[in-house]
Every structure is written in structure tokens, then in C-alpha cells.
Chains A and B, each alone.
Chain A
Amino acid sequence: MSIDFLVAVIITVVGASTPILFAGLGELVTEKSGVLNLGVEGMMLIGAIAAFATVDITGNPWLAVVMAAAAGALISMVFAVLTLSLSANQVATGLALTIFGTGLSTLIGNGFTGRAIKTFDTIFPDVLAKDPFWKVIFGYSPLVYFSFIMVALVAWFLSRTRPGLILRAVGENDVSAHSIGYSVIRVRYAAVAFGGAMAGIGGATFPLVLTPLWAEGLTGGRGWIAIALVVFAGWRPVWLLGGAYFFGLLSTFELYAKASGASWTAILPSEAWAALPYLATVVVLAVISVSKRAGGNAPACLGKPFIPSA
């Protein structure tokens, strides 16, 4: 295996991992506050089309990231109003959000099919960013570096800051948090909005980093993998980073299976490689629940509605 090939593989894996890392981080924070939002896939698609449309119209990929985050947060408010203010069932509302986001992104994206967009330039000088070897560190889209910063920020926020502590308290024991004067509903609104914004950026990664073309349903189930990833990581941001890269690696096998006929990927049909990340998700979820006590790390109030009594 040549160095060039290895570099190419690493770059592909990083690209495939980044969207699920963003979306997973957002969902992790949402779930830490006690809310299970299954609408990640829909919010990612809304973010993807918002980013694509913004670049197509303004040519500015930085603005596209902002718009994707705003669109994801905005659409997540539909979920928040239903589940937090109206105490609707979180599972059903999340599903509806995914169906809605899929439909709406397709409808808006209809006018953009077949158009290519210009995306980020590399941020490091070409000597490093275009070097056949050093590009493995310096040659990525700014979004990739941003995703690492967000892992550190989220980890720091949850474990070291007071608002992070309040957020976790709300997710672990909503009644107590309420009784000592914190607004459970307001904290959860904020956590859902953050989850929406991050899912939006995760979706934006598809047109801005992976392929600069619009395609219907281009996230292809990555939002669901992101949700599984949160369980896999035991609600810990740094573990989420590892999990995202593991699933990113698994999902690149399909690309190589399709691209190169005669290599080791030929032992299985390309459809089997395509199914691998989903199968692996199921297997991994089973394995970790055996090795740990089932759901031992899950926020105690996850998925339960909170209705203030007074």
C-alpha cells in the first residue's frame, strides 16, 4: 500500500466522518438535556439545502455554514414547540420532522439539480495544503477543523461550565432542577436548537466538503447513524469523535468497492459494503449493551415529557 493511497484513504475517511460527527455532537447535547430528537436526518437535509442554496446564490461558503446552522435550528423549533410546549410524543414528532425535512429539502432543491457550486478554499498555504503528503493534515475544508474544535468545546461546556452542569441536571432529574428554580423547558429549547444547528452544519458538509452537487436525500441515513453514535459513545463527546471516525471508515469501503474492481473489496458485492455501516451500528449497539449495563450512561429523563406542575 503506497503512501499516496493511504493519504487518499485518510482524506476520504475524514470527509465521511465529519457530517456524522457534527450531527452526533448536536444530538448528544440535546439528549443530555433529556430530549430525544429523532429528526436529525431531516434537520441535516434542511441544513444541506440551505447551504447549497446560499452558495449558489451568494458564492460565499462561510455564509452557507451560518445559514445551514440557522435553518437547522429553525426547523428544530417545530420539534421543540410540539414536544416541549405541547408535550407531544418525542419519538413520533422526531419521525415527522425527518419526513418533513426530506420532503421540504427535495422541494426546495428541485430547482438546483445538476448545478455545481464552488466551495471552500483550503485555509493553510498551498505549500502545505497541496503537498502530496502534508495535505493529510493541512489540506481539509475549514469545516473539518471546526468539527474538532466543537468536540473540545462541547466536552468543556458539559463537564466544566455552570450552564453545562445545569443542562445535565435538567436531563438527569427534571423535577429537582425545576424545584431549585431552573427553567427545564427553556434549557431544553436551547439544547434542541443547538442540536438543530449542529445537524444543519452536518448536512451542509455534504455539499460543502463531499460533493458540490445537489441530490435528493443526499444524507442517505447518516442522521440515524449519528443518533446511534450517541448511544455508542455513552453520551461522551470524545468517544463520539472516535465513533464517528469508525463509522466514517466503514462507510468508505463502499466507495472503494465501486471504484476498484480487482482489489480485496471484490470478496463482497458493493451492496454488502454499502449495508455495512448500518449492520455494524446494530452489532455495536448490541455489543456495548452487553459489555456495559444497559443504557447505564443514558440521561435519566431521556425522552420523557416534563409538565411543570405550578
Chain B
Amino acid sequence: MKLKLEKRAEPSALMLYATPVGAVILTMIVGAIIFSVIGYNGLGAVYEVFIAPVATSYKWQDIAIKASPLILIGVGLAVGNRAAIWNIGAEGQYVVGALAGTGVGLLTQNATGPWILPLMLLAGIAGGAAWGAIPALLRNRFHVNETLSSLMMTYVAIHLMNYLVAGPWKDPTGFSFPQTPLVTADQSLPDIIPGTQIHLGVLLTLVIALAMAVLMARSVFGFQVRVVGSAPHAARHGGFSEKQTVWLVFLLSGGLAGLAGIFEVTGPFEQMSLGFPQNYGFTAIIVAFLGRLNPIGVIIAGVVLAITYVGGDMAQSALQLPNASKGIFQAMMLFFLLASDILIRYRVRLVSQAAPAAQPATAKSAA
């Protein structure tokens, strides 16, 4: 007996949505085995990372707060990946967005008024979009691969942040800790559910994700992105400019990453410090794929990955697992998802070895 792949006439919609769920389940099973082999409590690790955050009701607000940046960055990246444009530097755009917004915050430390917070948020979007514009410009003008340049700019962004936070922007009253001053009352996102930390940014993220769902499904832009990604030749004939798509994708995904960054500053973090980058920009790549590059799917995947963030912290205190070990689970989800992608376009058949090896005519008609 032998496994044989047979091309489906139509991509399987069932497999498209069943495989992400399967990937998460497989990750739990194989994750438990890997952690046991290394010498940790494997089942305990899976419980703490995936189950405990959901089973502990006071952790739900943490999940919502951590899902927000993942979803916001993830919907932007999903658009790019649809167009086969690879922005893997969202982490840098997130950091620069936060820096730009914080810069406005420093200038308005002594001011009051309802205009301050929106101005900071706009600066955040502009900062992220500007950082995203660099790889877009490099690709369009100089044919520089956007994967490499967007990632390189992330390292530059983090060094820029380290410089500002430990140098010119350091809080003079902060006992020389490398951190910026706390945001003022007029610079903070209000909490939307009394008694919780769930801030306005979480709600805005949901609104934006839903708006993106409409945009992608109903607008010319959504169509353009899909055509450029799946049929570049047809796109050229249809008059869609690839360069314009690159610009739009990077400005959009960079702007959303920047907004996520300034949401974190004006929300949970209340300032910037050396520990500000939380890898949301990289994890959001997994969110985009696990959500099948579909904004609604991204919301669900963002919650799943947020659970692993909260669970990673819980596993650290309960089992002394290093925090980075959540990355193993996150990467495995993507591995299993990518591995199962083939099931969407192909059907796996068991065939007996005895069957003739080559029957080109019938094989062709089956395909």
C-alpha cells in the first residue's frame, strides 16, 4: 500500500477551515511529547499554555488585551500575504508607531484636552506606515526583496527605541530606569468595561477587523490584492499595478502595526521601556496564516495565539518553563497548518503497490 496524492477539481472548503483546528490539536499532542522528551512535564505544559488561561475566568481580560495587537497586526499582514507580498517587519513598524505616538505624548505632557489621544493614535499610524514605506520603496525602486529589508528595518527600529528610551526620552523622575514618562490621563485609552483593564483599543481593533472583512470581500482593493497574489499575469493584463499594490499593502499593514503599538503605549504599558517589544509583530504572521488570511479567521486565530501568550506566563510561574517556550507551540501551529495545506488542493488516496505504476492517460483525466 502506498499514499498517493490526487488533485481535487475544486479546493476543499471543508479542509480550508478544518485544517487550522486540526493544527492546534496536533500542536497540543506533539507539544506534550516534545516537552516530555526534553524533560519537562509535557501534559502540564500543554495544560498551562492552552487550557488554563481559558479555564481561569479572571484571565479572560488578559486574553482580550493580548489578542488586540495580534489581531490588528494580523489583519494587515493577511492582506499582504494574499497579494504574495511579504512584510515580516511588522514588529519594527509596531515599535516605530509606538515611538511616534510617544513622541507626541512627550510634547503634550503638560497639555490637556480630548484632542491629545487621537493625535497620538494618528502619529502611531503615521509612524508605522512610514516604517513600512521603506521596504515598499526599496522593492519598487530598487528591486530589494521586501522580506529581508522589512526584517532588517525591525532591528534598526529596536536599536532606535533602545537609544531613545535610555537616552533623550528617558523619564527624568524615573530613578534612571530606561523608560519614558507615564502617559497622562488625557493620553490614556479609557477602559470600556468597568472593573477590567479592557480598553478602547480592543473595541477599535474589532471594528477595524470587521471593516477589513468588508473591504476585502466587497471592494476593488480586496479584488486587486487577491488577483495580484494568485494570478500576477492576469493582474497586469487587468490593469492592476503591482507597484501600487506593494505601496498599499505596506502602508496599510505598517499603519495598522503602528496603531497596535501606540494602543499598547496608551493602554496596558502606559509608557515605553526596553521590554516594550513583545514579538506581537512576528506572532501576528502566524495569526494571519492560522486565520486563513481572512479577517474573521484572524480574529479567532488572534484569540488562540493570545491564549498562548497568557498561558506562556502561567506556565512560567507554575512549571518554571522559560517564557520563550510558547514560541515552540506557536511555530508548531504554523508547521502543522502549512503541512496540512496540501489537503485543500489534493486528496490523499491509499493505493496498492501492485497497481500499474504509470497510467498516464487515466491519471491525466483524473486530474
Within the complex, the shortest CB–CB distance from A37 to chain B, in Å, comes to: 12
**Taking CB as reference atom, which chain A residue is nearest B358?**
A310
Contact of A100 among B81, B141, B335 (CB under 8 A): B335
Question: In the complex, which residues of chain B have a beta carbon less than 8 angstroms from the beta carbon of A123?
Answer: none
Contact across chains for B155 and A278 when beta carbons are under 8 A apart:
yes
Among candidates B152, B155, B289, residue contacting A92 with C-beta atoms closer than 8 Å: B289
Question: How far is it, in angstroms, between the C-alpha of A294 and the C-alpha of B331 when the chains are bound?
Answer: 33
Tell which of A11-19, A102-110, A192-200 binds the partner: A102-110
| Contact residues in B for A269 (Cβ distance below 8 Å) | 163, 167
When distances are taken between beta carbons in the complex, the residues of chain A under 8 Å from B289 are 92
Which one, B94-102, B103-111, B125-133, B322-330, is touching chain A? B322-330
Contacting pair A310 B159 (CB below 8 A): no
Known contacts A271-B162, A272-B163, A282-B144; A86/B341 CB under 8 A: yes
CB distance from A22 to the nearest CB of B (A): 19
CB of A216 within 8 A of chain B?
A: yes
Which residues of B sit under 8 angstroms from A129, Cβ to Cβ? Answer: none
| A89 located at the interface, meaning its Cβ lies under 8 Å from any Cβ of chain B in the complex | yes
Which of under 10, 10 to 19, 20 to 34, or 35 or more describes the interface residues of A?
A: 35 or more
Binding site of A, secondary structure by majority: helix, strand, loop or mixed? helix
A115 to B60, CA, bound (A): 39
Closest B residue to A307 by beta carbon equals B5
Report the separation of the CA atoms of residues A86 and B336 in the bound assembly, to the nearest whole angstrom.
11
Quick check: is A96 within 8 A (CB to CB) of the other chain? yes
Please indicate the chain A residues that have their CB under 8 angstroms from the CB of B257 in the complex.
Answer: none
**A231 is an interface residue with CB less than 8 A from chain B:** yes
B341 and chain A: residue at smallest CB distance: A88
Total contacts A to B, CB within 8 angstroms?
Answer: 134
Identify B286's interface contact among A96, A228, A282, A290, CB under 8 A: A96
Q: Is the CB of B324 within 8 A of A275?
A: no
Q: Does A224 contact B (CB under 8 A)?
A: yes
> If the complex has contacts A86-B339, A99-B330, A274-B159, are A295 and B143 also in contact, measured as CB distance less than 8 A?
yes
Pair B324/A216 contact, Cβ less than 8 Å: yes
Residues of B near A97 (CB, < 8 A) are 331
Q: Which residue of B lies closest to A78 (CB)?
A: B335
CB closest chain-A residue, reference B7: A307
Contacts of B339 in A (CB 8 A): 81-82, 86, 88
Give the contacting residue for B138; candidates A104, A107, A221, A285; CB below 8 A: A285
Tell me the minimal C-beta distance from B36 to chain A in angstroms.
12
The chain B residue sitting closest to A268, CB to CB, is: B163
- Are B341 and A228 in contact (CB-based, < 8 A)? no
Q: How far does the alpha carbon of A97 sit from the alpha carbon of B328 in the complex, in Å?
A: 10
In the complex formed, the residue of B with least CB distance to A105 is: B324
Chain B interface residue number, banded = 35 or more
Interface residues of B in 116-164 (CB under 8 A from A): 134, 138, 141-145, 147-149, 151-153, 155-156, 159-160, 162-163
**Distance of A217 from chain B, by nearest CB (Å):** 8
List of A residues within 8 angstroms of B240 by Cβ? none
Query: B160–A285 contact, CB under 8 A?
Result: no
| Contact assessment for A228 and B148 in the assembled complex, using a CB-CB cutoff below 8 Å | yes
Q: Is the CB of A285 within 8 A of B327?
A: no
Are A86 and B342 interface neighbours, CB within 8 A? yes
CB distance from A166 to the nearest CB of B (A): 24
Chain B residue at minimum C-beta to C-beta distance from A89? B338
B334 neighbours in A (Cβ, 8 Å): 92, 95-96, 99
Q: Are the CB atoms of B335 and A279 closer together than 8 Å?
A: no
Q: Provide the bound-state CA to CA distance between A78 and B339, in Å.
A: 10
A102 adjacent to B159 (CB under 8 Å): no
Separation of A87 and B142 alpha carbons in the complex (Å): 30
Nearest opposing residue in chain A for B149, CB measure = A282
Contact between B338 and A227, CB atoms less than 8 A apart: no
B363 within 8 Å of A (CB atoms): yes
Which of chain B's residues has its CB closest to A287's CB?
Answer: B142
A279 and B152 contact, Cβ closer than 8 Å, known pairs A86-B339, A99-B334, A290-B142:
yes
Kindly list chain B residues whose C-beta atoms are within 8 Å of the C-beta of A278: 152-153, 155-156, 159
Chain B 3-40, CB within 8 Å of chain A: the 1/0 string?
00000000000000000000000000000000100101
Q: Give the docked Cα–Cα distance between A20 and B348 (Å).
A: 41
Does A122 have its Cβ within 8 Å of any Cβ on chain B? no
A108-B360 Cα distance, complex, nearest whole Å: 50
Asked whether any CB of chain A lies closer than 8 Å to the CB of B79, the reply is: no
Give the contacting residue for A107; candidates B88, B286, B322; CB below 8 A.
B322
Interface string of A164-189 (1 = CB under 8 A from B): 00000000000000000000000000
CA distance A107 to B159 in the complex (A): 26
Partner of A272, one of B147, B149, B159: B159
Residues of A contacting B310 with CB < 8 Å? none
10 contacts between A and B (CB under 8 A): A107-B35, A107-B321, A107-B325, A269-B167, A271-B160, A271-B162, A272-B159, A275-B160, A281-B148, A285-B138
Q: Residues of B at under 8 Å CB distance from A?
A: 35, 38, 40, 81, 86, 88, 134, 138, 141-145, 147-149, 151-153, 155-156, 159-160, 162-163, 167, 282, 285-286, 289, 321-322, 324-332, 334-335, 338-339, 341-342, 358, 360, 363
Extra contacts besides A81-B339, A107-B321 (19): CB < 8 Å:
A78-B335, A86-B341, A92-B285, A96-B331, A99-B286, A99-B331, A99-B334, A100-B328, A103-B325, A103-B331, A106-B327, A224-B151, A228-B148, A228-B152, A271-B163, A281-B152, A285-B144, A285-B145, A290-B142
A-B complex: 8 closest residue pairs judged by Cβ atoms: A103-B327, A100-B331, A294-B143, A106-B324, A271-B163, A275-B159, A103-B328, A88-B338
